[in-house]
Amino acid sequence: MIVRPGSLTLAVAFVAAVSSCAALAGETYAFPAGFLWGTATAAHQVEGNNSNSDWWDWEQVPGHIKHNDHSGLADDHYHLFAADLALARDLGNNAYRFSVEWARLEPEEGRFDEREAAHYRAVLEACKANGLTPIVTLFHFTLPRWLAAKGGWLSPSTPALFARYAAFAAARFGDLADLWCTLNEPVVYLGAGYLKGVFPPGILDLRQALIVMENLARGHALAAKAIKEHDRKSLAKNGPPAVVTIAHHMRVFDPARSWHPIDIVATRVVDYIFNKAFLDAITRGRLYFNIPGFPRVDVVIPGGKHSLDILGINYYSRDLIKFNPRSPLLSDQLHPRDAQLTDLGWEIYPEGLYRLLVGTWKDYGLPILVTENGIADGSDSKRSEFLRQHLQAMARAMKDGVPVLGYLHWSLLDNFEWAEGFWPRFGLYSVDYATQQRRPTKAAEVYRQIIGAGKIDLGKSEDLGPEDEAE
Q: Does a structural domain hold residue 44? A: yes
Q: Does a structural domain hold residue 266? A: yes
Which has the closest alpha carbon to 107: 119, 90, 93, 125?
Answer: 119
pLDDT at 50 over 80: yes
Q: Does a structural domain hold residue 459? A: no
CATH number of 52's domain: 3.20.20.80
**Angle at the Cα of 69 from the Cα atoms of 63 and 73, rounded to 5 degrees:** 145
- What is the average pLDDT across 246-255? 98
pLDDT bin (cut points 50, 70, 90) of residue 240 is confident
| Cα gap 225→387, rounded to integer Å | 35
pLDDT bin (cut points 50, 70, 90) of residue 235 is low
pLDDT bin (cut points 50, 70, 90) of residue 470 is low
User: Which of the residue ranges 11-25, 96-110, 265-279 would you say has the lowest mean pLDDT?
Assistant: 11-25
pLDDT at 465 over 90: no
How far is residue 114 from each of residues 121, 187, 234, measured CA to CA in Å? 10, 31, 19
Evaluate whether 194 touches 204 at the Cβ level (below 8 Å): yes
Q: Does a structural domain hold residue 463? A: no
Task: Give 41-84 as a 3 state SS string.
Answer: CCHHHHCCCCCCEHHHHHHCCCCCCHHHCCCCCCCCHHHHHHHH
Tens digits of per-residue pLDDT, 182-221?
999 999 999 999 999 999 999 999 999 999 999 999 999 9
Q: Does a structural domain hold residue 147? A: yes
Q: Does a structural domain hold residue 349? A: yes
Q: Residue 461: its pLDDT value, please?
A: 54
Which residues does residue 439 pair with via DSSP β-bridges, in sequence order? 430
pTM for the complete prediction? 0.93
Domains held by the chain: number: 1
Helix (H) or strand (E) holding 124: helix 114-129
CB atoms within 10 A of CB 183: 25
Write the DSSP assignment of 156-215 as a string of letters.
TTHHHHHHHHHHHHHHHHTTT--EEEEEE-HHHHHHHHHTS--STT----HHHHHHHHHH
Q: Residue 388: its pLDDT value, please?
A: 98
CA dihedral 213, 219, 225, 230 (to 10 degrees): -150
Question: Amino acid identity of 51?
Answer: S
pLDDT bin (cut points 50, 70, 90) of residue 294 is confident
Which residues does residue 188 pair with via DSSP β-bridges, in sequence order? none
Evaluate whether 15 touches 3 at the Cβ level (below 8 Å): no
pLDDT at 165 over 60: yes
How far is residue 296 from each of residues 60, 134, 182, measured CA to CA in Å? 37, 39, 26
Q: Residue 26: its pLDDT value, please?
A: 53
SS3 465: coil
Q: Does a structural domain hold residue 467? A: no
Evaluate whether 296 touches 277 at the Cβ level (below 8 Å): no
Considering 47, 106, 214, 372, which one is annotated as catalytic?
Answer: 372
Q: Residue 237: its pLDDT value, please?
A: 58
Cα Rg for the chain, rounded, in angstroms? 21
- The question of whether 372 is a catalytic residue gets the answer yes
**Angle at the Cα of 434 from the Cα atoms of 55 and 383, rounded to 5 degrees:** 80
Which has the closest alpha carbon to 131: 179, 90, 100?
Answer: 90
How far is residue 410 from each of residues 41, 68, 100, 183, 468, measured CA to CA in Å? 7, 24, 17, 16, 32
pLDDT bin (cut points 50, 70, 90) of residue 239 is confident
pLDDT at 463 over 90: no
SS3 323: strand
| Cα gap 161→384, rounded to integer Å | 42
Tens digits of per-residue pLDDT, 340-378?
999 999 999 999 999 999 999 999 999 999 999 999 999
pLDDT bin (cut points 50, 70, 90) of residue 462 is low
Evaluate whether 407 touches 467 at the Cβ level (below 8 Å): no
CA dihedral 156, 160, 165, 171 (to 10 degrees): 170
Which has the closest alpha carbon to 317: 402, 382, 363, 405?
Answer: 382
Contacts of 8 (CB under 8 A, 6+ apart): 240, 241
| Cα gap 176→393, rounded to integer Å | 32
Q: Residue 179: its pLDDT value, please?
A: 98
User: Which of the residue ranges 20-34, 62-76, 119-133, 424-438 would you say has the lowest mean pLDDT?
Assistant: 20-34
Mean pLDDT (the chain) is 92
Considering 106, 185, 214, 347, which one is annotated as catalytic?
Answer: 185
Q: Does a structural domain hold residue 465? A: no
Residue range of the domain that includes 369: 5-453
pLDDT at 337 over 60: yes
Tens digits of per-residue pLDDT, 374-393?
999 999 999 999 999 999 99
